[in-house]
Amino acid sequence: MLTLIAGLVIFFGTHLYATFRSRETGVSITDRIGYSAYMGVYSVVSFVGLALIAFGFFSASAADAIYHNPFASRSLTLVSMAFASIFVAAAYVPANHIAGKLKHPMLVGIALWAGSHLLAGSEPRDVLLFGAFLAFAIINIAVVNRRTESQPGQSNIATLGADLMAIVVGLSIFALFGLWVHAALFGVTIW
């Protein structure tokens, strides 16, 4: 469990630093060391944290549930994951209405993924992992919304074709995970 906690601290420490760091010209770390150097260090440290999270999660012993899963939690998780997949896909499909309405489709998708998995998993390792991702997504959304600087976003000219693309890509990823990837990687069958 300590490996999981260390991974969460490293991974989210890096990401929260990126969220709260100064963006003031001349003071910003990217101005001092350069954007490429910053992204290189950020990527390596994030990868180390993610590797520790995965190793720590899978090596943690099974433990008693902290709480009882609510009635129909499996069904709620499935429906939530379909939407989460669409929202994450919308973050990468340019000029779609979904991203425009959500403002932070990736973070909303992560929050929905984490929250729905808290419904399905109630062991200490589940609560640590998914609770950390949920808290991070909520904090990040709040901080980014409060920033006064302009944020890169979706084009003002959203199209229904882009919406359809986000939905098709998202549901395709959802189906792929549900039919094969989730069971292969995590040992938990979805359907």
For residues 40 and 68, membership in a common domain is answered with: no
pLDDT tens readout for residues 115-126: 999 998 899 999
Give me the pLDDT at residue 92, please. 97
pTM, two decimals, is 0.87
Give me the pLDDT at residue 152, please. 52
125 and 5 in contact (C-beta within 8 Å)? no
158, with CB counted inside 10 A (0-12, 13-18, 19+), is middle
For residues 51 and 78, membership in a common domain is answered with: no
Give me the pLDDT at residue 156, please. 62
For residues 28 and 73, membership in a common domain is answered with: no
95 C-beta neighbours (distance < 10 Å), count: 16
Task: Print the domain residue range for 14.
Answer: 1-60
The residue length of the chain stands at 191
For residues 69 and 46, membership in a common domain is answered with: no
User: Which residue positions in the chain have pLDDT lower than 50?
Assistant: 148, 150, 154-155
Give me the pLDDT at residue 25, please. 84
